[in-house]
Structure 1
Amino acid sequence: MMTNLFSSFDPSTSIFNMPLNWSSVFLGLLFTPYILWAMPSRWVLLWTLITSTLHKEFKILLGPNNSSGTIMFVSLFSLIMFNNFLGLLPYVFTSTSHLAMTLSLALPLWTSFMIFGWVNHTKHMLAHLVPISTPSPLMPFMVLIEMVSNLIRPGTLAVRLAANMIAGHLLLTLLGSTGPSLQLGLLSLLILSQILLLLLESAVAIIQSYVFAVLSTLYASEVN
């Protein structure tokens, strides 16, 4: 029996005292070479359609002058989605439920956007601190509010992804731990609810990776 519900997220797999949990982050890379040399299957064609659609959407968000940067955000979407889905498999470490992983993605992106914007487009970044038609007495307060909202962006990106992944996994773990003590009739309802929750978590895995990539794209488009 678990002493702590959150212990299901603890890194515990190791060989010769070497942690292996974070190696699950690289499992998604195993699918990439297969697409390059194998005969295209329906899954490969579906994934190609998804990535081409994302390329077109991110190109609109970034603008025609920065369309070459879409590959970075499509790769970001792919990395997060692969790790979200791998976390749904039994006994696979969910890296995206840890702030160490999500902050490692959000913080460097936001920092690079800010450095690029303030170095190359200083007037444009200063204009963003004061919304249009702001009354003069409110301008100092609006500058403070805009600065705070800008500074917390990497934190909100990281916490949003990690919290959504943790919430579903905790619910699955909590319901699954009650299985041995239930009768046969209630056990069938529990299995049905677990299947429905897995379907919901699959949708959350796609939606959260898409939200993370889209918000990162919007943050990048603001500094141009």
Structure 2
Amino acid sequence: MMTNLFSIFDPSTSQSISLNWVSTLLIILSTPYLYWVIPSRLQILIINMFNILNKELSILLSNSKKPGMTFLLISLFWLISMNNSLGLLPHIFTSTSHIMMTLSLALPIWMTIMLFGWLNNTTHMFAHLVPQGTPPALMMFMVCIESISNLIRPITLSVRLAANMIAGHLLLTLLSNSAVMSSLSTTLTISIAQIALLTLEMAVALIQAYVFVVLSTLYSTEIH
């Protein structure tokens, strides 16, 4: 029995042991293995998706591409997308709907980018605080605005991912609760709406992972 609507996102399965976070490790079971002589159709689909993503990220990192950078970003995409998708299955906790998980992903990426930029390209980082063509009277304000914009980036990255995951699950829960005491026709309509919403959530699971990775890539290009 839920004490409140948001208790479905509470990562606790019992008073003695918590098993919800184990779902994060299930990504290992879904990772495509390359030692098969003949890969399955699922493995071919995943590899093709990785190749397309690698080409797009390589274009974004054309001026600042480092060895293994795209591999790191693709791994991050796979981690987030699989946790988003696993959360759509019954009785599996969506770890990416918890701010602790999303902030743990966004904060190290942002700190690494900032430390690398300020230690290796200090002059460029100072110049980036004042956009080109800014009037002298507004330079002080632009420095404050750009500084705040940089500082809140890990928060916006993590909150965007968690909020989008929470929104879909809350809507599915609200529709389920309203269908319990409804008539047969209403229940059928709600069921069709839930199927459509679930299909949309599958797309959102991949889109949000893609957005997270692309924004991280764009942030890393600003330090060069």
The TM-score with structure 1 as length reference comes to 0.95
- Matches of 2:182 and 2:64, distance apart in 1: 60
- Matches of 1:151 and 1:83, distance apart in 2: 27
- Matches of 1:26 and 1:59, distance apart in 2: 28
Q: CA deviation at 1:19?
A: 1.4
How many residue pairs match? The answer is: 222
- Matches of 1:191 and 1:211, distance apart in 2: 29
* Residue 90 of structure 2: aligned partner: 90
Bigger mean CA deviation after superposition, 23-32 or 63-72: 63-72
* Residue 46 of structure 1: aligned partner: 45
* Residue 138 of structure 2: aligned partner: 138
- Matches of 1:187 and 1:89, distance apart in 2: 21
Residues 81 and 205 in structure 1, CA contact (< 8 A), matched pair in contact too: yes
- Matches of 1:114 and 1:56, distance apart in 2: 25
The gaps in structure 2 that reach 5 residues or longer are none
- For 1:131-166, what per-residue CA distance to the aligned partner results, in whole angstroms no more than 9, with x for missing partners? 001111110000000000010000000000000000
* Residue 23 of structure 2: aligned partner: 24
1:71-220 matches, cutoff 5 A: 71-220=71-220
Code of the aligned partner of 1:191: S
Give identity over the alignment, percent. 58
What SS is found at the alignment partner of 1:6?
helix
Q: CA deviation at 1:35?
A: 2.2
Residues 59 and 67 in structure 1, CA contact (< 8 A), matched pair in contact too: no
- Matches of 1:80 and 1:180, distance apart in 2: 32
- For 1:91-127, what per-residue CA distance to the aligned partner results, in whole angstroms no more than 9, with x for missing partners? 0000000000000000000001000000000011011
The gaps in structure 1 that reach 5 residues or longer are none
Code of the aligned partner of 1:94: T
- Matches of 1:133 and 1:188, distance apart in 2: 59
Give the helix-richer structure, 1 or 2.
1
- Matches of 1:138 and 1:44, distance apart in 2: 54
Q: Which runs of 4+ in 1 moved over 2 A?
A: 34-39
- Matches of 1:146 and 1:19, distance apart in 2: 41
Bigger mean CA deviation after superposition, 178-187 or 152-161: 178-187
Q: CA deviation at 1:204?
A: 0.7
Q: CA RMSD in A?
A: 1.3
The TM-score with structure 2 as length reference comes to 0.95
Code of the aligned partner of 2:117: G
- Matches of 2:64 and 2:157, distance apart in 1: 26
Bigger mean CA deviation after superposition, 195-204 or 66-75: 66-75
Residues 103 and 154 in structure 1, CA contact (< 8 A), matched pair in contact too: yes
2:39 corresponds to 1:35: no
* Residue 57 of structure 2: aligned partner: 58
